[in-house]
Amino acid sequence: MLPKRLPVPVAEAAKRGAEKALRCMTEALGFARYACVECGSEHRVCFTCKSRFCPRCGRARAAEAAARAQGRLLNVNHRHLTFSVPSELRALLFHRRELLGAVAKAAAMATLEAVGTRCRAHAPVPGIMTCTHTFGRDLTFHVHVHVLCTEGGLRADGVWQPVHLFPARQYRRLWQHHLLKELRKALKGNRSAIRQIGSLYRKHPTGFIVNVMSRYRSGKQAAAYCCRYTGRPPLSERRILAYDGRDVTFGYKDYRDGVEKTLTLPAVEFLLRVMQHVWPRYQRDVHYYGLYQPSRRKRNVEAVAQASRYGDQVRPRPALSRRERLEAAMAELKLRCPKCDGRLAFQCVVLPREVHASQSRPHKQNTGAQLPLRM
């Protein structure tokens, strides 16, 4: 059942994201000024909001997230697994969003332990990337973790151990053990929550649901799939089929029977369903473990390259920075004057005053000056 109120951090993040999305591609967020070299007319290109809530900017954010992940993932085979949280815990996670980090950690710990059992003498350590989602196709609150795991791991003796066996039965039990363990640790002192967690061992004697899904031959393919919903709203505009001023109708695929269905909701309930999936500010949904652990990633990558016969090929492909992508896009962008079809020359960037005021200290208010762009 959908609550009538959102948790405070989620409501604040949703409000902030909606305000930014409404100002997307308007002068309120700043613009770049161009002038025609032929007729001298002035033209403005408004900036996007880059909000996670905005359907227009979502695709670009997802591509940026995939590019960052591609620069981290080894160029080796990856296996995709999905860890589902049982329905009994969804209400708890709905109100305590900070626990989603523990959920991602539990999925990673279960994967690390399962892969480590493939070689008893020298437990291989795989590279693991987790991406936590809170939404189902029908926009209900359904927490699950997408895990990308290398099909192999680096052993303590410096040997790369291939791993091709991912038994779902073993993962189910490990997922249950680590998830309930992490939640107990985070909820120490909350007796009612501890009792509820303890009862789940009896209700689910075979463990929690884990799906061993696709296999990807490179880090680029794996990153592109797992990050396609990262930075994007849970519902794309093309899935909204109708709106009559009161009700919203959208389509979705029911994975239980594989049938395309439609759902009609009042506008207020539809907005609540969408906004409940906005992540609180500064909370991350993508985490790295094992060989991809940030503090030791470079050292681990070099160790894997030395252990492989194809060292230069297994290293992650370098990803372009945001500035490099911006410069490439600006270089390829050939704007023409709508009046005389002449070439448009860049002049300056104008940023709104409130952007500078919110990001600077109170005694250093910015006046919204025009900033030249160095290319």
Task: Count the neighbouring beta carbons within 10 Å of the beta carbon of residue 359.
Answer: 8
Q: DSSP secondary structure string, 120-187?
A: SSS--B-EEEEEEEEE-TT--EEEEEEEEEESEEE-TTS-EEE-----HHHHHHHHHHHHHHHHHHHT
pLDDT at position 58, please?
Answer: 73
Identity of residue 62: A
Q: What are phi and psi of 297, to 5 degrees?
A: -65, -45
Do residues 55 and 231 make contact, with C-beta atoms less than 8 angstroms apart? Answer: no
Rounded to the nearest 10 degrees, the angle between the axes of helix 100-116 and helix 168-186 is 140
Task: Count the neighbouring beta carbons within 10 Å of the beta carbon of residue 27.
Answer: 12
Dihedral sign for Cα atoms in the order 72, 78, 82, 83: negative
Structure token digits, residue 155: 């052993």
pTM of the model: 0.83
Within the chain, residue ranges assigned H as helices are: 8-22, 55-70, 90-95, 100-116, 168-186, 191-203, 219-226, 267-275, 297-307, 311-314, 322-332, 353-359
pLDDT at position 246, please?
Answer: 93
pLDDT at position 56, please?
Answer: 75
**CA separation for the pair 102, 100 (Å, rounded):** 5
What is the distance of C-alpha 139 from the center of its chain? Answer: 16
CATH topology of domain 55-235+275-320: Replication Protein E1; Chain: A, (3.40.1310)
Q: What are phi and psi of 149, to 5 degrees?
A: -130, 135
Print pLDDT tens along the chain (375 aa): 455 688 999 999 988 888 888 888 888 888 888 888 888 888 888 888 877 777 777 777 777 777 788 788 898 999 999 999 999 999 999 999 999 999 999 999 999 999 999 888 889 999 999 999 998 888 899 999 999 999 999 999 999 999 998 999 999 999 999 999 999 999 988 898 999 999 999 999 999 999 988 888 877 777 777 776 666 678 888 888 999 989 999 999 887 788 899 999 999 999 898 889 989 988 988 999 999 999 999 999 999 998 887 777 788 877 666 666 666 666 566 678 888 888 888 788 788 765 444 444 443 333 333 433 332
Do residues 126 and 290 make contact, with C-beta atoms less than 8 angstroms apart? Answer: yes
Burial-class residue 235 by CB neighbours within 10 Å (0-12, 13-18, 19+): buried
pLDDT at position 4, please?
Answer: 66
C-alpha dist (Å) from residue 140 to 34, 263, 270: 45, 12, 10
Burial-class residue 216 by CB neighbours within 10 Å (0-12, 13-18, 19+): buried
pLDDT at position 367, please?
Answer: 35
Strands of the sheet with 370-371, listed across from one edge: 42-46, 31-36, 344-350, 370-371
Structure token digits, residue 304: 């894997």
Where do the domains of the chain lie? 8-52+324-371, 55-235+275-320, 236-274
Q: Which residues contact 324 (CB under 8 A, 6 or more apart)?
A: none
pLDDT at position 53, please?
Answer: 75
pLDDT at position 372, please?
Answer: 35
Do residues 151 and 128 make contact, with C-beta atoms less than 8 angstroms apart? Answer: no
Do residues 295 and 27 make contact, with C-beta atoms less than 8 angstroms apart? Answer: no
